[in-house]
Structure 1
Amino acid sequence: MAIAPARPSPLAAIFRVSKPLIGNVHCAPLPGTPRYRGEPMAAIVKRAVEDARAYAAGGMNGLMLENHGDIPFLPPGEIGPEIVAAMSVLVKAVAEAVDLPYGINLLANSAIGALAIAKATDARFIRVNQWVNAYVANEGLVEGESGRALRFRRMIGADDVAIFADVHVKHGAHAIVGDRGVAELARDTEFYDADVAIATGNRTGDTVPPEEIAAVRAGTRLPVIAGSGIAKDNAAALMAELDGAIVGSSLKHDGVWWNQVDPARVEAFVTEVRRHHPA
């Protein structure tokens, strides 16, 4: 039974390929965050641009930029203007250096902040880890921002920015909605007007279980992409069940998320995926 009007998938319009591969640019710590050590913004921007160029050269189809270096993250309402400003500068520099579509993930869970950055930098999508319902995260109780975020998106004229929403997000406990299965949570994600559903593992870099993908698929007509754990060794099998993937940790030097992108890993990964799933 349909629970919301059908919407066209934004993946083909944004990426123009089948099963797009989106490289995750984990930005270095930004000014004002605990792990920031006084580096000039130029150095932070340079690292992000280098990672973006490595993804592009290796054949990835898009980018996602996120402030992953800002650990420990704040709840969305406490993220300061210094972070939104720094991310906007960084994203614009990457956009000028690399000709790939890109999106924003403003951690933790700041859909409104991400939309503001997207509007200012012409980003095509945002990722929101908790779009609807609530869960207990490392940051505390995190509630879905969909109602406020969609009103903000309309207010700033950013209706063309797509919403990529996690269904059963990593780094947290789902006891609050423990009486409802993943398929039902996927239905909620579609009901509250997300454009793409994301399936993930339990932590950054953890492989998304095939049964998680199947459960998300069972609950929604939205395209389903992976948000963690896709690597060269499992890509052929998992990508058969997915409409795309956001990939980061496995493409870094030594497979560690805080390292910079390894061009050789990117090329090998893309070659393996496209051998089984041509674009």
Structure 2
Amino acid sequence: MATWLHDVFPVAKPIIGMLHLSALPGDPGYDSKGGLATILDRARAELANLQEGGVDAVMFSNEFSLPYLTKTEPITAITMARIIGELHDEISVPFGVNVLWDGRASIDLAVATDAKFVREIFTGVYASDFGLWNTNVGETARHRRAVGGENVKLFFNIVPESAKYLADRDLEAITRTTVFATLPDAICVSGPTAGSQTDMDQLQAVKNAAGNVPVFVNTGVRANTAAAQLSVADGGVVGTYFKKDGVFENPVDPARVRELMGEVQKLRHTLPAS
């Protein structure tokens, strides 16, 4: 297993809690009357609920910037940097960022805020709900180098939500070539939409093919599924389950955070000492 994983997350099977920012300036759903103050107030409350509930890390994302862009407007990452800067002294766990669906902007934001990792779609060509979606991982890797982001860990989502890989290749083959040719720091495996169950067969196939690259289950982690999913995956990303009543649009419910993290702690107690 990659040594960096324990350096960033000093626990086994780390859980990254998603901090979904409200619609931002320029987004169709932006609340111009409430403005940035309203966005910041919700983000501050959700950060506190995630951290007090025991998550191992937090990832800031513009989840409510619907419909998403594959090349974002500058105002999106700029606003996210402002919000993270305002909250920086309150962040007590490692954090990452995700500017949906823009890998370069995510890396820029990570460098600007000292985030430890980013998650994005860095490879592949897809037919998606927002049109034909192409990537250029070679350019993105060189951009990370150019802006001084060598220490920012890249989480590659190789099963993107709301999209289908255009090449006729199975997931194990995609994983093997992704690991060999594009040098991901970690791989994320998702279900078809936010909060939907990640297929266990797909998760196992990716884990089998990923070698020493850590594999994270990216959607559908729940209190009653976490143990089974983490018996395969090296960590998990949780967003929807942490929301009140498990509804994507709702705010984070600290009781649900504690419930899931309690199950993860039970699992950790069964693991062999490293």
* Smaller-chain TM-score bracket: over 0.9
Per the alignment, residue 3 of structure 1 pairs with none
Q: Which residue identity is paired with 2:187?
A: A
Which segment is superposed worse, 91-100 or 116-125? 91-100
Per the alignment, residue 209 of structure 2 pairs with 219
Note if 1:230 corresponds to 2:205.
Answer: no
SS state of the match for residue 88, structure 1? helix
Distance 2:253 2:39 in 1: 18
Distance 1:94 1:149 in 2: 28
Per the alignment, residue 196 of structure 1 pairs with 186
Q: Which residue identity is paired with 1:152?
A: H
Distance 1:19 1:90 in 2: 28
Aligned residue among 104, 114, 121 for 2:97: 104
Aligned residue among 112, 134, 142 for 2:133: 142
- Contact 2:16 2:59 (8 Å CA) reproduced: yes
Q: CA deviation at 1:167?
A: 1.5
SS state of the match for residue 246, structure 1? strand
Distance 1:156 1:75 in 2: 20
- Contact 2:29 2:65 (8 Å CA) reproduced: yes
- Contact 2:15 2:235 (8 Å CA) reproduced: yes
Which segment is superposed worse, 44-53 or 258-267? 44-53
Q: Which residue identity is paired with 1:203?
A: T
- Contact 1:9 1:196 (8 Å CA) reproduced: no
Which segment is superposed worse, 246-255 or 182-191? 182-191
SS state of the match for residue 65, structure 1? strand
Per the alignment, residue 4 of structure 1 pairs with none
Q: CA deviation at 1:9?
A: 4.2
Which stretches of structure 1, 4 residues or longer, exceed 4 Å deviation after superposition? Answer: none
Q: CA deviation at 1:98?
A: 1.8
Distance 1:67 1:55 in 2: 17
Runs of 5+ consecutive residues of structure 1 not aligned to the other structure: 1-6
Per the alignment, residue 154 of structure 1 pairs with 145
- Shift of the 52–240 alpha-carbon distance from structure 1 to 2, 3 Å rule, reads same
- Contact 1:125 1:161 (8 Å CA) reproduced: yes
Note if 1:52 corresponds to 2:52.
Answer: no
Per the alignment, residue 119 of structure 1 pairs with 111
Distance 2:191 2:83 in 1: 28
Aligned residue among 57, 65, 80 for 2:60: 65
Distance 2:6 2:160 in 1: 24
Q: CA deviation at 1:218?
A: 2.4
Distance 2:159 2:56 in 1: 25
- Equivalent residues, number: 267
- Contact 2:207 2:232 (8 Å CA) reproduced: no
Distance 1:219 1:134 in 2: 20
Note if 1:8 corresponds to 2:2.
Answer: yes
Distance 1:192 1:72 in 2: 28
Per the alignment, residue 123 of structure 2 pairs with 132
Aligned residue among 182, 187, 200 for 2:171: 182
Q: CA deviation at 1:189?
A: 2.2
TM-score, reference length from structure 2: 0.94
Which segment is superposed worse, 67-76 or 90-99? 90-99
Distance 1:55 1:94 in 2: 14
Distance 1:163 1:9 in 2: 14
Per the alignment, residue 233 of structure 2 pairs with 242
Q: CA deviation at 1:117?
A: 0.6
Q: Which residue identity is paired with 2:174?
A: L
- Contact 1:55 1:266 (8 Å CA) reproduced: yes
SS state of the match for residue 201, structure 2? helix
Q: CA deviation at 1:92?
A: 2.1
